[in-house]
Amino acid sequence: MVMRIIRLEVDDIHCDKCVAKIKGRISSLDGIYKVDVIEYRKIVVMADENIDREVLRDVLEDLGYRVRG
Predicted local distance difference test score (pLDDT) of residue 1: 74
- Whole-prediction pTM value? 0.92
- Chain segment 23-34, per-residue pLDDT in tens: 999 999 999 999
Degrees (nearest 5) of the Cα angle 49, 62, 38? 60
Strand partners, 41: none
Residue 19 sits in a domain of what CATH number?
Answer: 3.30.70.100
Q: How many domains does the chain have?
A: 1
Which residues have C-beta within 8 Å of that of residue 34, sequence separation ≥ 6?
Answer: 45, 46
Cα distance between residue 45 and residue 67, in whole Å: 14
Predicted local distance difference test score (pLDDT) of residue 34: 97
Strand partners, 35: 45
Q: Which of 4, 7, 3, 17 is nearest to 68 (CA)?
A: 7
- Residue 51, domain extent: 3-68
